[in-house]
């Protein structure tokens, strides 16, 4: 018996919807390198099989990569690593659920091999911190803390190399703090927000954490669920690596002539109330990065040949008048890295930070060598902050934006030896809020020093 075309069409639509319903969030692009790429997606508990099929956008034979891990759990974030790709080539991909197309599609473009062949490329990346999505039944009373999330639709339209999240990508609530299930739930719930889905696949996503996506507000190494939190982090982000020896989440990424060091300011962090000094001397027991991570960071800086070496951290680093936590509040560790950068004449160093619910650029001069800058970008959607107290007219501030949701674009351009970085801040709808430019020559140790 022949099945009517209309019935076949209905069956097809139902099958498509069923497969589509199995995708809770994503796809999201992770790092895209020269010859491989990572693709993330979260599937529903009923999913029995998942795969990604990928092919050149220009045409060619598709390749299917099946997920070989465990499925059927309440939380099922999964990652695919696609290898054997060609340089500087655009690919299209689709997620398959239970052997059927899900309709969840995207594109990626591999890096171009420019070293020893071409001038450093012009490129840009986006960055920001503090993304809060309201959930009234668990939020604190009063005015909703989360703002206009359409900022992510604006960002999805950008043509940038990647997005770097600077911490507080989701906000745990009191009901989550000491619940393993609650930590998984919070990550899943925020990752699945419809407003975010186009952004996840629009460009590669890399991230570092701060207190709110690590656990409770302002907590550090004493957090009793830190191992669970790290496991969740590894499942929900496709970073290049996650610390060393099962400790921490720090890593790095390179693009063009910029190396970016994504630090972990929570895993080894001393309680903020630990005194900065004891008996009038700096307290060596107060740490933010810890010995293992400090050793990694110093060696990474020494190894790096990049024009720009950007150290990213959840908390501010330099701001001398900040009333809140900053790396300088761990005086021995802070001075150790400052002395190290100066002693070894490491050029091109600047800091990129989040957390503060305002954006600003802080400049601190160093006798005998180049000035250091701390570029803070915050918030994406969480509550905003007003400059006040000693910070109201901060003499170290080069540029400041308060009481506005915002993100930043870092753009690198110019010929070898004359590269420059332009930092632009944008509002929810892409409105320009301010910009600042610096050249590589301004980030070099004087020749006679």
Q: What is the mean pLDDT of residues 158-184?
A: 98
What is the Cα–Cα distance from 354 to 166, expressed in whole angstroms? 5
What is the Cα–Cα distance from 310 to 294, expressed in whole angstroms? 15
Question: Where does the pLDDT of residue 7 fall: very low under 50, low under 70, confident under 90, or very high at 90 and above?
Answer: very low
CB of 168 closer than 8 Å to CB of 210: yes
Taking 70 as the threshold, does the pLDDT of residue 17 lie above it?
no
Q: Report the relative pairing of strands 123-128 and 163-165 from DSSP bridges.
A: parallel
pLDDT of 324-346, one tens digit each?
989 999 999 999 999 999 999 99
Q: Mean pLDDT, the chain, as a whole number?
A: 95
CATH architecture of 5-109: Sandwich (2.60)
pLDDT of 405-448, one tens digit each?
999 999 999 999 999 999 999 999 999 999 999 999 999 999 87
Q: For a pLDDT cut of 70, what percent of the chain falls above it? A: 95
Residue 72 confidence (pLDDT): 96
CA distances from 141 to 135, 138, 145, 251, 321 (A): 11, 9, 10, 37, 31
- Any idea what the Cα angle at residue 440 is, between residues 330 and 432, rounded to 5°? 85
- Any idea what the Cα angle at residue 179 is, between residues 189 and 22, rounded to 5°? 30
Taking 90 as the threshold, does the pLDDT of residue 13 lie above it?
no
Q: What is the mean pLDDT of residues 95-110?
A: 98
What is the Cα–Cα distance from 220 to 424, expressed in whole angstroms? 32
Q: What is the mean pLDDT of residues 286-302?
A: 98
Q: Report the relative pairing of strands 123-128 and 77-82 from DSSP bridges.
A: unpaired
- Where are the domain boundaries for CATH 3.60.21.70 in the chain? 123-443
For residue 202, which of 236, 164, 163 has the smallest C-alpha distance? 163
DSSP letter at 414?
A: S
Taking 50 as the threshold, does the pLDDT of residue 8 lie above it?
no
SS3 423: strand
pLDDT of 310-329, one tens digit each?
999 999 999 999 999 899 99
**What DSSP string describes 337-361?**
HHHHHHHTT--SEEEEE--SSSEEE
Instruction: Tell me: cis bond preceding 90? Omega within 30 of 0 counts.
Output: no
CATH architecture of 123-443: 4-Layer Sandwich (3.60)
Burial 405-431 (b: 16+ CB within 10 A, else e): bbbbbbbbbbeeeebbbebbbbbbeee
Taking 80 as the threshold, does the pLDDT of residue 9 lie above it?
no
Question: Where does the pLDDT of residue 18 fall: very low under 50, low under 70, confident under 90, or very high at 90 and above?
Answer: very low
- Any idea what the Cα angle at residue 260 is, between residues 350 and 257, rounded to 5°? 90
Q: What is the mean pLDDT of residues 145-172?
A: 98
What is the Cα–Cα distance from 317 to 332, expressed in whole angstroms? 13
DSSP letter at 244?
A: B
Residue 448 confidence (pLDDT): 78
CB of 316 closer than 8 Å to CB of 353: yes
pLDDT of 395-404, one tens digit each?
999 999 999 9
Taking 70 as the threshold, does the pLDDT of residue 387 lie above it?
yes
Residue 316 confidence (pLDDT): 97
- Strand arrangement of the beta sheet that strand 37-43 belongs to: 23-32, 37-43, 77-82
Question: Where does the pLDDT of residue 251 fall: very low under 50, low under 70, confident under 90, or very high at 90 and above?
Answer: very high
DSSP letter at 171?
A: -
338 phi and psi angles, rounded to 5 deg: -65, -45
Tokens of 85: 């790709």
Put simply, whether the predicted model's pTM sits higher than 0.85 gets the answer yes
pLDDT of 357-370, one tens digit each?
999 999 999 999 99
- Where are the domain boundaries for CATH 2.60.40.10 in the chain? 5-109
Long-range contacts of 432-435 (CB under 8 A, 24+ apart): 433/359, 433/401, 433/404, 433/406, 434/399, 434/401
Residue 30 confidence (pLDDT): 98
Residue 12 confidence (pLDDT): 43
Taking 60 as the threshold, does the pLDDT of residue 20 lie above it?
no
pLDDT of 279-293, one tens digit each?
999 999 999 999 999
DSSP letter at 316?
A: B
pLDDT of 27-75, one tens digit each?
999 999 999 999 999 999 999 999 999 999 999 999 999 999 999 999 9
Residue 4 confidence (pLDDT): 53
């Amino acid at each position: 018996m022949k099945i009517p075309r209309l019935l076949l069409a209905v069956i097809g639509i139902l099958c498509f919807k069923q497969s589509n319903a199995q995708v809770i969030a994503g796809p999201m692009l992770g790092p895209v390198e020269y010859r491989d790429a990572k693709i993330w997606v979260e599937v529903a508990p009923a999913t029995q099989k998942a795969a990604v099929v990928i092919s050149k956008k220009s045409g060619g034979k598709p390749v299917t990569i099946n997920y070989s891990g465990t499925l059927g759990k309440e939380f099922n974030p999964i990652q695919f690593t696609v290898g054997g790709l060609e340089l500087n080539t655009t690919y299209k991909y689709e997620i398959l659920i239970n052997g059927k197309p899900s309709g969840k599609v995207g594109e990626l473009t591999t890096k171009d091999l420019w070293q020893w062949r071409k001038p450093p490329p012009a490129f840009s990346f986006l960055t920001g911190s503090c993304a809060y999505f309201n959930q009234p039944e668990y939020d604190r009373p009063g005015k909703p803390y989360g703002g206009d999330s359409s900022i992510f639709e604006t960002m999805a339209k950008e043509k940038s190399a990647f997005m770097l999240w600077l911490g507080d990508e989701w906000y745990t609530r009191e009901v989550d703090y000491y619940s393993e299930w609650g930590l998984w739930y919070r990550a899943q719930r925020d990752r699945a927000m419809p407003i975010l889905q186009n952004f996840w696949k629009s460009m590669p996503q890399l991230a570092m954490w701060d207190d709110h996506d690590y656990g409770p507000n302002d907590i550090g190494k004493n957090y009793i669920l830190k191992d669970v939190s790290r496991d969740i982090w590894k499942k929900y982000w496709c970073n290049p690596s996650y610390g060393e020896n099962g400790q921490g989440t720090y890593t790095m990424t390179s693009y063009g002539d910029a190396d970016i060091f994504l630090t972990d300011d929570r895993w080894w962090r001393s309680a903020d109330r630990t005194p900065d000094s004891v008996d009038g001397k700096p307290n060596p027991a107060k740490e933010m990065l810890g010995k293992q991570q400090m050793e990694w960071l110093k060696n990474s800086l020494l190894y790096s040949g990049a024009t720009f070496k950007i150290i990213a951290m959840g908390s501010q680093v330099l701001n001398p008048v900040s009333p809140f936590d900053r790396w300088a509040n761990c005086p021995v560790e802070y001075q150790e890295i400052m002395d190290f950068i100066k002693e070894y004449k490491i050029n091109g160093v600047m800091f990129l930070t989040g957390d503060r619910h305002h954006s600003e650029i802080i400049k601190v001069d160093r006798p005998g060598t180049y000035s250091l800058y701390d570029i803070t970008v915050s918030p994406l959607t969480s509550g905003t902050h007003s400059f006040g107290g000693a910070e109201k007219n901060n003499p170290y501030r080069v540029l400041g934006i308060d009481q506005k949701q915002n993100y930043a674009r870092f753009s690198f351009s110019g010929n070898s030896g004359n590269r420059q970085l332009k930092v632009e801040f944008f509002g929810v709808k892409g409105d320009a809020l301010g910009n600042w430019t610096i050249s590589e020559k301004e980030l070099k140790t004087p020749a006679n020093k």
